């Protein structure tokens, strides 16, 4: 999820008030964030212009330091996904992420892949760096809005993921995301024909607007070899439907930090749409108009869903860490066998 309005990271007294009142007693002692990005301008390649959007410099140490502001006192690990920007130095970016994450063996990386790569190259890089999996993105499709999975993740790459027991973090394209008939046909086939690949459907299967989850949740529940991260979804009902109907052990916390998750404001929905709303910076006379961080808006909704569904403390701890730890252990065991 992109937010082109991202400014320098800030953490305010208001953010801390939100944390202390709404989240301190909810977020467990250990957090595995299964959807994050890192970036260095050293790998901008042929991309010109000033660094905007996803090009916010942050390395592993800065991620960890920032997490201590967001989730004070928590043990923190993460799955880093390659930052999807066309024209960058892909190999340099992937090499850099691998070097950065050597500081934390409990964390993991999904290699950024583009259709211009070959399956042989991807297999070689996975072996070289012990990547957990692959990070394709719809921006690499000829039509990023309406592309099918194969348009930005060639089937030969899925074969590599199957053969090497890799994860695939998938941000679906199409205006209706998981409810789209092509996406459903593709997921149905790929998950069954290539069972060695494990699919993490990003952003609650890209259900930024709950109508997408309403129209797909029963289909998704029947698929094998899929998992979810909850990153950057600010629609309460999307979280509710996923946690009510899915096997909760397949749902893992994610933030899309830092560019999307640490933007100020909220991803709002209307009709069949969603967009980033930064808040009313001019102020409002009838209420406190200050905006907190998108990730805090998300966490508040996850807490509300936990209350509505009467989740036990063990289930909450699994959502934030246990499910991810088991997933990572499963993948690493399969990859080492």
- pLDDT tens for the chain, 337 residues long, are 544 444 578 999 999 999 999 999 999 999 999 999 999 999 999 998 888 889 999 999 999 999 999 999 999 999 999 999 999 999 999 999 999 999 999 999 999 999 999 999 999 999 999 999 999 999 999 999 999 999 999 999 999 999 999 999 999 999 999 999 999 999 999 999 999 999 999 999 999 999 999 999 999 999 999 999 999 999 999 999 999 999 999 999 999 999 999 999 999 999 999 999 999 888 888 999 999 999 999 999 999 999 999 999 999 999 999 999 999 999 999 999 8
What pLDDT score was predicted for residue 7? 52
Q: What is the tens place of the pLDDT at every residue in 207-249?
A: 999 999 999 999 999 999 999 999 999 999 999 999 999 999 9
DSSP track, 247-290: -GGGEE----BTTTTTSBSEEEEETTEEEEE---TT--TTS---
Q: What is the CATH number of domain 13-264+294-336?
A: 3.20.20.140
Token output for 190: 């790929």
Domain range list for the chain: 13-264+294-336
Separation CA 145–CA 194 (nearest Å): 25
Please give the helix or strand (H or E) that residue 226 lies within, else none.
Answer: strand 226-229
* CA gap 225, 191 in Å, rounded: 6
CA distance 187 to 63: 32
| Closest to 174 (Cα-Cα) out of 210, 143, 216 | 143
CB atoms within 10 A of CB 149: 25
**From CA 234, how far away is CA 230, in angstroms rounded?**
9
Chain-centroid distance of CA 306 in Å reads: 20
Which tokens hold the place of 4? 């082109």
Please, are residues 296 and 23 in contact by the beta-carbon 8 Å criterion? yes
Count the Cβ atoms, other than its own, within 10 Å of residue 295: 25
Q: How far apart are the first and last CA of the chain?
A: 35
- Quick one: pLDDT at residue 5? 44
Kindly tell me the burial class for residue 140, based on how many C-beta atoms sit within 10 Å of its own C-beta (0-12, 13-18, 19 or more): buried
pLDDT of residue 215: 98
Q: What is the pTM of this model?
A: 0.96
pLDDT at 107: 98
């Amino acid at each position: 999820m992109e937010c082109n309005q991202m400014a320098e990271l800030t953490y305010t007294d208001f953010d801390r008030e939100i944390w202390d009142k709404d989240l301190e007693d909810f977020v467990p002692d250990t957090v595995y964030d299964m959807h994050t990005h890192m970036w260095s301008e050293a790998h901008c390649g042929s991309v010109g212009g000033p660094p905007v959007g996803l090009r916010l410099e942050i390395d592993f140490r800065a991620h960890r330091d920032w997490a201590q502001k967001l989730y004070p006192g928590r043990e923190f690990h993460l799955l880093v996904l390659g930052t999807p920007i066309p024209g960058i130095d892909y190999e340099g970016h992937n090499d850099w992420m691998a070097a950065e994450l050597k500081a934390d063996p409990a964390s993991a990386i999904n290699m950024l892949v583009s259709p211009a790569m070959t399956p042989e190259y991807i297999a070689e890089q996975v072996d070289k760096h012990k990547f957990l999996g692959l990070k394709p993105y719809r921006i690499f499709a000829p039509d990023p809005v309406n592309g099918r999975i194969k348009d930005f993740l060639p089937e030969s790459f899925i074969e590599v993921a199957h053969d090497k027991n890799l994860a695939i973090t998938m941000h679906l394209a199409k205006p209706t995301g998981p409810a789209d008939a092509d996406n459903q046909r593709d997921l149905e086939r790929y998950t069954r024909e290539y069972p060695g690949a494990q699919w993490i459907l990003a952003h609650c299967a890209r259900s930024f607007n709950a109508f997408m989850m309403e129209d797909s949740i029963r289909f998704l529940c029947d698929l094998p070899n899929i998992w979810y991260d909850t990153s950057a979804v600010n629609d309460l009902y999307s979280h509710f439907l996923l946690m009510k109907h899915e096997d909760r052990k397949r749902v893992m916390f994610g933030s899309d930090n830092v560019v999307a998750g640490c933007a100020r404001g909220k991803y709002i929905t209307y009709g069949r749409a969603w967009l980033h709303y930064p808040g009313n910076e001019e102020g409002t006379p009838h209420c406190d108009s200050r905006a907190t961080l998108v990730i805090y808006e998300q966490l508040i909704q996850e807490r509300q869903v936990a209350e509505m569904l009467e989740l036990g403390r063990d289930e909450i701890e699994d959502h934030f860490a246990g499910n991810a730890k088991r997933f990572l252990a499963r993948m690493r065991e399969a990859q080492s066998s």
